[in-house]
Chains A and B, each alone.
Chain A
Amino acid sequence: MTSQRLFTPTPSGIAGLIFAAFAFFVVPLVAGGQWLNVFISMACFALAVAGCAFMYARMGMVSLTQVGLMGVGGWVTLRLNYLFDFPFELNLLVAMFITALFGLVLALPALRMRGLYLALVTLMAAAGFEILFATFQFPNGGDTFWGVQTGTSGDFRRPSLATSDAAYLRYLVAVVTAAFLLIELHRRTAPGRAWALIRRSEAAAMAAGVNVTFYKAWAFALAGLLAGLGGGLLAGSLGLLDGGTFRASESVMIFALAIVGGAHSWLGVLIAAALFRVLPAALNNAGLDADLSFVIFGAGLLHAVISAPEGLAGQFVRFINTKLQKQTQSVQEHAPTLVSMESRTGSSSLSNQDNSTPDFAHHVEIDSITVKFGGVVALNNVAVTFKSPVSGIIGPNGAGKTTLMNVMSGFIEPTSGSVRSDKNLITAMAPFQRSRWGLRRSFQKEEVADDLTVSENIVAQIDTDRTPAAEKHEQVSRALEFVGLSHRSDVLGRNLNTFERRLTDIAKCVVGQPRLIMFDEPAGGMSVDETNRLGDLILQIHEFCGAQVLVIDHDVELITRICEETLVLDFGEKIAFGSTSDVLSDDRVRSAYLGLDNETAEEGQGNA
Chain B
Amino acid sequence: MIGSKALNWCLYLGLMAATILFLAWGKPQKIVGLFFVSGLAVGSLYALGGIGMVVLYRATGVLNFANGAIGAAGVMTAWQLGQWGIWEPLTWLSAIAVALVLSVGYGRFIAPALAWREPVVKAVATLGFALIILGFVSYLWIDDPRKFSLPTDKIGVRILGLRVTVTRLIAFGMSVGIVILIHQYLTRTSIGLHMRALANNRDISALIGIPILRTETIAWGISGVIAGFTGLMFGDLIRLEPTVITFMVIPSIAAAICGRLQSLSLVLIGGLSMGVIESLLTLSPYLKSVRPIAPFIIAALVLLYFQRGRRLSFGGAD
Contacts and interface: CB of A to CB of B under 8 A. Distances in A.
Interface of A: 62, 109, 111-121, 123-125, 127-128, 131-132, 135-136, 200-204, 206, 247-249, 252-253, 255-256, 259, 289, 291-302, 305-306, 411, 447, 605-608
Given A112-B311, A116-B318, A289-B139, 12 more contacts: A116-B118, A127-B293, A131-B293, A135-B290, A201-B315, A202-B312, A294-B131, A295-B139, A296-B135, A302-B110, A302-B129, A305-B125
21 contacts: A109-B307, A112-B307, A114-B318, A118-B318, A120-B63, A120-B257, A124-B297, A131-B296, A203-B315, A249-B247, A256-B124, A256-B128, A289-B138, A289-B139, A293-B135, A295-B131, A297-B135, A299-B132, A300-B128, A302-B128, A608-B316
B240 interface: no
A202 B119 CA distance: 19
> Top 5 closest A-B pairs, CB basis?
A301-B128, A294-B135, A298-B131, A298-B132, A295-B135
Interface in B112-145: 113-114, 117-121, 123-125, 127-136, 138-139
B131 A135 contact: no
A119 B118 CA distance: 12
Nearest to B63: A116
B27 interface: no
Contacts, number: 169
Interface in B281-309: 289-290, 292-293, 296-297, 299-300, 303-304, 307-308
B110 A607 contact: no
A116 B292 CA distance: 23
Interface of B: 63, 65, 110, 113-114, 117-121, 123-125, 127-136, 138-139, 247, 250-251, 253-254, 257, 261, 289-290, 292-293, 296-297, 299-300, 303-304, 307-308, 310-318
A205 B127 CA distance: 32
Nearest to B251: A127
A368 B248 CA distance: 56
Contact of A607 (B139, B296, B314): B314
B253 A120 contact: yes
B317 A291 contact: no
B131 A116 contact: no
B124 A112 contact: no
Contacts of B293: 127-128, 131-132
Contacts of A296: 135
B66 to A, nearest CB: 9
B296 A128 contact: yes
A321 B139 CA distance: 39
A116 B123 contact: yes
Nearest to A247: B247
A93 B139 CA distance: 41
B314 A202 contact: yes
Contact of A292 (B127, B135, B299): B135
Chain B contact residues: over half helix, strand or loop, or mixed? helix
Given A115-B119, A249-B247, A295 B132 contact: yes
Nearest to A431: B313
B131 A297 contact: yes
B74 to A, nearest CB: 18
A357 B134 CA distance: 73
Contacts of A256: 124, 127-128, 131
Contacts of B261: 116
Contact of B119 (A116, A201, A249): A116
Contacts of B129: 298, 302
Nearest to B143: A291
A119 B123 contact: yes
A411 to B, nearest CB: 5
Contacts of A135: 289-290
B114 to A, nearest CB: 6
Contact of A301 (B113, B119, B125, B307): B125
A306 B114 CA distance: 6
A201 B124 contact: no
A112 B117 contact: no
Contact of B114 (A113, A128, A132, A305): A305
A128 B128 contact: no
B224 to A, nearest CB: 18
Given A109-B304, A117-B318, A291-B139, A297 B299 contact: no
B70 to A, nearest CB: 13
A305 B312 contact: no
Nearest to A259: B124
Contacts of B315: 200-204, 447, 607
Contacts of B132: 294-295, 298-299, 302
Contacts of B289: 135-136
Contacts of A203: 313-315
Contacts of A607: 314-316
Contacts of A132: 290, 293
A294 B133 CA distance: 8
Contacts of A606: 314, 317
Contacts of B318: 113-118
Given A109-B300, A117-B303, A120-B257, A301 B127 contact: yes
B120 A116 contact: yes
B313 A125 contact: no
Nearest to A447: B315
Contacts of A291: 134-135, 138-139
Nearest to B311: A411
A608 B317 CA distance: 9
B312 A112 contact: yes
Nearest to A212: B312
Contacts of B308: 112
Nearest to A248: B250
Contacts of A120: 63, 253, 257, 299, 303
A14 B293 CA distance: 44
Nearest to A201: B315
A259 B311 CA distance: 28
Contacts of A206: 313
B175 to A, nearest CB: 21
Contacts of A123: 250, 253
B139 A306 contact: no
A128 B135 CA distance: 25
Nearest to B308: A112
B257 A124 contact: yes
Contacts of A306: 110, 113-114, 125
Contacts of A249: 247, 250
Contact of B300 (A124, A289, A299): A124
A204 B134 CA distance: 43
Contacts of A111: 312
A127 B135 contact: no
Nearest to A409: B313
A114 B312 contact: yes
B274 to A, nearest CB: 11
A423 B65 CA distance: 56
Nearest to A301: B128
Contacts of A297: 128, 131, 135
B307 A113 contact: yes
B200 to A, nearest CB: 14
B21 to A, nearest CB: 24
Nearest to B290: A135
A295 B130 CA distance: 9
A113 B310 contact: yes
